[in-house]
Chains A and B, each alone.
Chain A
Amino acid sequence: MKPTNHEHPEYFHKVVDCQYACPSHTPVPEYIRLISQGKYDEAFKINWISNVFPGILGRVCDRPCEPACRRSRVEETPVAICRLKRAASDYKSDSSDFLPEVPTEKNGKRIALIGGGPASLTVARDLLPLGYTVDLYDDQPKAGGFVRTQVPSFRLPEKVLNEEVDRILDMGVTTHFNHYVDSLKTISDKGYDAIFVGTGAPRGRDLDLPGRQEGDASIFLGIEWLAAVLYRHVKDAPERVLVLGGGNTAMDCCRMTKRLGGEQVQVIVRSPKADMKASPWEIEDAEDEGIPIVDNHSPLEFVINEGKLIGMNFEKVKAERDNEGRRKLIPTGEEPVFIPCDQVLLAVGQQNALPFIDADLGITMNERGLPLLDEVTHQSSVPHIFFGGDAAFGPKNVITAVAHGHQAAISIDLFCQGKDLHKRPAPSTNLVSMKMGMQEWLYHSQVSDDERYAVPTVDKVKSLKNRLVEVELGFSKKTANVEALRCLNCDVQTVFDYSTCIECDSCVDVCPESCITFTENGDEEELRTRLLAPADNREQSLYVSPVLPTGRVMIKDENVCLHCGLCAERCPTSSWEMMKFTYNSAQAGQK
């Protein structure tokens, strides 16, 4: 193998699994370290710069960082990254020092944002400090988009949402609420320098089954129903409710129903439970509240009696894989199952809806009905129109929308300056030594044995009575501290200088994870078979040194390194150094 070039910004970035997995590349270990030191303001600031909505994401993020967490490869459970983010938001002071200055003298460029969700708000936040004039259009009375209308307040209190949304609006966004844009052309005609479309995937999928029309009064689309609950158009639920669908919206619907008076609430899923799209913790929360999840039931028809919905018929199915590995649901041939109910909530998927894009505007659409975009720049076929969030590449999640917002803001800024959109600013990286003295480091190198701490919750009786009571209480400062210390500091890198190594084997001997091997070089596949410990996780890099005096090379498998610093501690020549790697994604306006 060729010697590793650790100066490449992506090499060590990949070692920081959580940050690498995060669409927005939030510097996770750094803010977790700050939480462990009680520096909540600083931890919050790092989050805010990178992901814009720490309070919201600390509750409802899809957390791609957690399955990536090294801790889950070393033991069983990842660090509770998402809940620590919330702790930073819960315990920060009222100081607003972190807010960037917004120039009073504008740069003369005007930007329109269509839709007031997380993607648009991110664009606004990134562009306002650069002097742009930003107009926001939304058909709702308040900004927040999907996060406001569909995430129930028992998961995300309105106060938290308002604080984070208003923080951005107060930077100087001109808002046009209750303003449904029915033609993008009318906006385009207003002479904006650039337009960003972040209208999400606002349409719930319907189920066109027998009885759908007749039962319409008792059948609702999940996301619309949740919005109706928010705006108090719906205040209660009947006794027996079926929620169809296996995603997070289904989980929100069933838990909300329970709070509005539903006694027998059931979630019915076509697929096996293991294949459900909902996050495991959301499923767990629903089950904890006494909601059964019935899997392998495919809906056949709505059963109507005297013009009134009385239940649904389901066909029992089982999942099988065809030759190409695609899952198919095969009927078991058993009798259809009748499940009585008074109301059905459909949460079987969301779709994009872009009816406001005028055909003569010149935006090329793809076969999925989405705009054809440059995946990096988010630019559509009309140069000054950009897309982000769910409206860009289909439904994903909040943190992805934020990442899109950052990228679109960079593109818009470059576009307005007449620059090449593909010459994007590079991430800023840095490597700083963590050595303080003998056996002393500038980070908490000791590896905690603690298992993941659970987040305390409100008494169930109380929370099920009131949809406005947030279920999770969040970590106490003390628990946040010990949970934060579970972090393995993957951003503190083991940096190897081959020129001073005397090949004494001290690092090999002391490494608790047997990560380091000195051996003859070879190609990667073959090398992986003869390292001290199995190195079969190909997603993780091998760190390879140039040839050493004995003709061997140093190979370190990054996979389960604990970043404990013992290799550096036991190295007589400081050939190993523990260095903190900082990686900050570029944002609009950076060179």
Chain B
Amino acid sequence: MSVQKPNFRHPKLAKNSAEYSRKDYEGAISTLCAGCGHDSATNSIIQACFELSIEPHRVAKISGIGCSSKTPAYFLNKSHGFNSVHGRMPSIATGANMANRDLLYIGVSGDGDTASIGMGQFAHALRRNLNLNYFCMNNGCYGLTKGQDSATADKGSAGKKGAPNPYNSIDLCELAIELGASYVARGFSGDKQQLVPLIKGAIAHSGLAFIDIISPCVTFNNTATSTKSYHYVRQHVEATNTFDFIPLAQEIITQYEEGSSQEVTMHDGSIIHLHKVDSSKDVTDRRKAVNNLEAEKDKGRLLTGLIYVNPDIMETHDIINSTLRPLNTLTEADLCPGNGALQKINEGFR
């Protein structure tokens, strides 16, 4: 007998401002291993979309192949979705985004899908600053093929098979900052208090928002010798900051102490209010952001939280000056403006 989730929900749970209940953002019951970090990451996406009152039919979920890429089945089952080829999520997302810029794009990928087979795709989506929420559920191993080390497995870390990884790991956050992402964060599936606001910030952000979600693989990589286990991550996290995400048009009611906080206004008018532990950790400066990551790494710590944000970088549509309307709303008159318009264009090249 397969497990079915009951249809009843807590009778006193509130609806959001769009009149949706949290159930409207759920998906099918997970078929991943019990205890998989991806399920918590999935639930954080559900929670963030619910809290932001996003209309489910205005979302497109796109993924590649892997345990992480299965997750779009487990959230937002009233949204659009495309489960693509291994490592090719960014291409599909780019195409979809070019065709209809009005939707909210959630691209889900994993460390194998991103840092190995899809590395080339990843790099170019970053470079173009595509308006995409790129969530990488990173467990440091290939869970779907029985836990081989992935490209993000730390050197010396050993999963269930027991042999320490001999290679250097790829730091996806550093790479993302390097290659042009305009919102870069790292979260931990076991800490929703931090992860949900990070996702909300990403959704409000215009441009490529990359979140590296450390998400332990309970079956193959939750050993005492792994650096991506629940225990290790909890012992070694260092947060850049905690923050409040204040959606557009919501009054700021909290009093912030001067000097200890930094305010970032997002493209859509939302505000991210950062409470900084260390005031030297400026998150709007690319170089400092990379330094912060490296400095914590030297200390044997894993930096989490919002690592870098720049709301002013142009996203792909702005760069290529594409139409503001989804392609399917363009009429024949828009697409064939007539001989006069053609002559005008030709004139421009003379």
Contact = CB atoms under 8 A, between A and B. Distances in A.
Same complex: yes
Interface of A: 73-75, 439-440, 446-447, 449, 502-506, 508-510, 512-515, 533-534, 536, 549-550, 560, 562, 564, 566, 569-573
Interface in B2-23: 2-13
B29 interface: yes
B234 A510 contact: no
B57 to A, nearest CB: 23
Contacts of A505: 39-40, 43, 189-190, 192
B64 interface: no
Given A549-B231, A566-B6, A570-B39, 13 more contacts: A439-B3, A502-B222, A504-B36, A504-B189, A504-B230, A506-B39, A506-B40, A509-B39, A536-B12, A549-B234, A550-B234, A570-B30, A572-B34
Interface in B213-251: 216, 218, 222, 230-231, 234
A87 B2 CA distance: 30
5 contacts: A505-B189, A506-B40, A509-B40, A513-B8, A564-B5
Contact of B216 (A504, A514, A536): A504
A98 to B, nearest CB: 32
A75 B7 CA distance: 11
B341 interface: no
Interface of B: 1-13, 29-30, 33-37, 39-40, 42-43, 189-190, 192, 216, 218, 222, 230-231, 234
Contact of B218 (A566, A569, A572): A572
B7 to A, nearest CB: 5
Contact of B10 (A504, A509, A534): A534
A560 B4 contact: no
A-B pairs, 7 with minimum CB distance: A572-B35, A447-B6, A533-B10, A534-B12, A509-B43, A505-B40, A504-B35
B3 A74 contact: no
A562 B8 contact: yes
Contacts of B40: 504-506, 509
B8 A569 contact: no
By secondary structure, the B interface counts as loop
A533 B230 contact: no
A504 B189 CA distance: 8
Contacts of A569: 3, 34
A514 B8 CA distance: 11
Nearest to B7: A449
Contacts of A533: 10, 12-13
Contact of B190 (A75, A440, A504): A504
Nearest to A550: B234
A572 B33 CA distance: 8
B8 A75 contact: yes
Nearest to A519: B193
Contacts of B34: 506, 569-572
A513 B10 contact: yes
Contacts of B8: 74-75, 447, 512-513, 560, 562
Nearest to A537: B12
A572 B37 CA distance: 11
Nearest to B8: A74
B7 A447 contact: yes
B299 to A, nearest CB: 21
B30 A510 contact: yes
Nearest to A73: B11
B42 A509 contact: yes
A46 B216 CA distance: 47
Given A504-B216, A506-B40, A570-B34, A512 B5 contact: yes
A534 B222 CA distance: 33
Nearest to A559: B10
Q: Which of A505, A510, A572 has the most CB of B within 10 A?
A: A505
A536 B230 CA distance: 33
A531 to B, nearest CB: 10
Given A439-B3, A566-B3, A504 B218 contact: yes
A510 B29 contact: yes
Contacts of A562: 6, 8
A70 to B, nearest CB: 11
A439 B1 contact: yes
A298 B196 CA distance: 63
